[in-house]
Amino acid sequence: MTGQAIMVQGTASSVGKSMVVAAMCRMFRQDGLRVAPFKAQNMALNAYVTAEGGEIGRAQAVQAQAAGIAPTVDMNPILLKPEGHSRAQVIVMGRPIGSIGAADYHERKPELRGVVVDALARLRSAYDLVVIEGAGSPAEINLKDRDLVNMFVAGAADCNVVLVGDIDRGGVFAAFVGTLELLEPAERSRVGAFLINKFRGDLRLLDSGLRFLETRTGIPVLGVVPYLPALRIADEDSVSLEDRIGRRRARADEVEIAVVRVPLISNHDDFQPLEHAPGVVVRFVERAEDLDGADLVVLPGSKSTVSDLHWLRASGIARAVTTRAQRGELVLGVCGGCQMLGRRIADPDAAESDEREAQGMGLLPISTRFSGDKRTTQVRARALVPSFLCNGGDADIAGYEIHMGRIERDPGESGPFAIRSRNGAPEDDVDGASSHGGAVVGTMIHGLFDNARVRDALIATLRARKGLPRAEAPHTSAAPPDELDRLAAAVRESIDVPLLRKLCRP
């Protein structure tokens, strides 16, 4: 049996396609269907590791969560991780196949179509419905002859398309009409409805525009989804960071975490749980002076560790971080940030950059060696020594690793966590490193702050160092609200659900 399919495309990037797909996955799951997400090709530096150790886009992992299923590589068979200079690491079915220039990758797209079609077919054979996400716009006429992710996929699935536009940006009606004008007749016939996203204000003010759109195109409007503030669902792209640059400083009764936005920042969603914690202000910063007064400075993951290390030095941030550490102020490095804080980075085979060796910041007793072997694992770990990340205890924490460089600790040195398992297999390994005195800590584990005990331990340490009382736990036994339920409810209330169900049938 082949499951049904519906596709969500957009008038541009970052119009909210990923969230709409997540909402639909949750809605259809609530309605009793076995549903799965799919995105043929994703370009993102926020990634996730499946239980089998395959790497996929973070958005598809969130969408799988919305559907109530485990993420698999079939849900995102091609992932592109930009490396700068028009190059990207290309990951096919969860495994990297190399770093490829944009022009060369464009030429290879036809041979990758079979990978896309096969992955989609496997999902449709296993689920009642597959909700498919496009990328960018289907009207990029310079890319259409080698399309892998928009109307090519709609044709392969023989499904209808919901076209999403972001009204918060302005020009949404022109975007809808202009997109249709640039589609071929066969492509245009697949567009079954428009969906307006991120609306703020009185819906009555849209009436004339909606009537014009439906009269001009003959295509119905599925609905108008409101702007949802403070949605606690992981963002995929660094575009979402633009609104968080220059965020307000912490008040006297709050703690402040400054995350350095390096040019090729990856997995910035690591810090989203902290952003939503009461009494915590997380700021993404790009200038050395913005570190002043922060209770914790974080060097995050990077897709190009050496390149971003050079940027840290050129911007003066590396010097500011070193000065902080010398004063005993807290510094955290995650993945690439951990490697930058070490003594040395060696890349003899040019696995990540053209530089064979670079000097690190020297704040952690480690060296890093890059090779072509990429580690992508889900991990379980326990605190090895007390640190500002964890007070200790026997309880496991969960996270995942995505890196090519392997760190080597100086003799006799240890790290904050002991790795107990990788991808379900028992393991006896040490993660990361700590400085003498413990002011600087590095870890290679992503997703740490999804663990309440790590998050709470960090916040408690920051508050204590600032002379603030420990934050009180909420006086309730109720489970925290599910943000995916909140998202699904908002979309369900805003759209013509019978029309959506009709569009799911070819």
Catalytic positions are 335, 446
The percent of the chain in helix, strand and coil, each rounded to the nearest 5, is 35, 30, 35
Residue 176, token pair as written in the block: 């809808």
Give the pair of three-digit tokens for residue 223.
Answer: 């609905």
Amino acid at residue number 217: T
DSSP strand pairing (366-383 vs 344-346): parallel
Q: Which two tokens stand for residue 497?
A: 């659900």
**Cα–Cα distance between 110 and 108 in angstroms, integer?**
6
Alpha carbon distance 22, 490 (integer Å)? 12
C-alpha pair distances (Å), 451 with each of 69, 380, 454? 20, 11, 6
User: Are 128 and 119 within 8 A, CB to CB?
Assistant: no
Q: Name the pairing type of β-strands 95-101 and 87-92.
A: antiparallel
Asked whether 8 and 131 are in contact (CB, 8 A), the reply is yes
Are 428 and 371 in contact by the 8 Å Cβ rule? The answer is no
DSSP helix/strand/coil, 63: helix
Report whether 409 contacts 365 (CB < 8 A): yes
The phi and psi torsions of 252 (rounded to 5 degrees) equal: -65, -30
Asked if residues 86 and 48 have their Cβ atoms less than 8 Å apart, the reply is no
Can you tell me whether residue 223 is helix, strand or coil?
A: strand
- Residues with Cβ < 8 Å from 475, sequence gap 6 or more? none
Contacts of 419 (CB under 8 A, 6+ apart): 379, 380, 381, 427, 428, 429, 430, 431
441 closest CA partner among 318, 323, 295, 333: 333
For the beta carbon of residue 131, count every other beta carbon within 10 angstroms: 29
CA angle 41, 498, 152 (to 5 degrees): 25
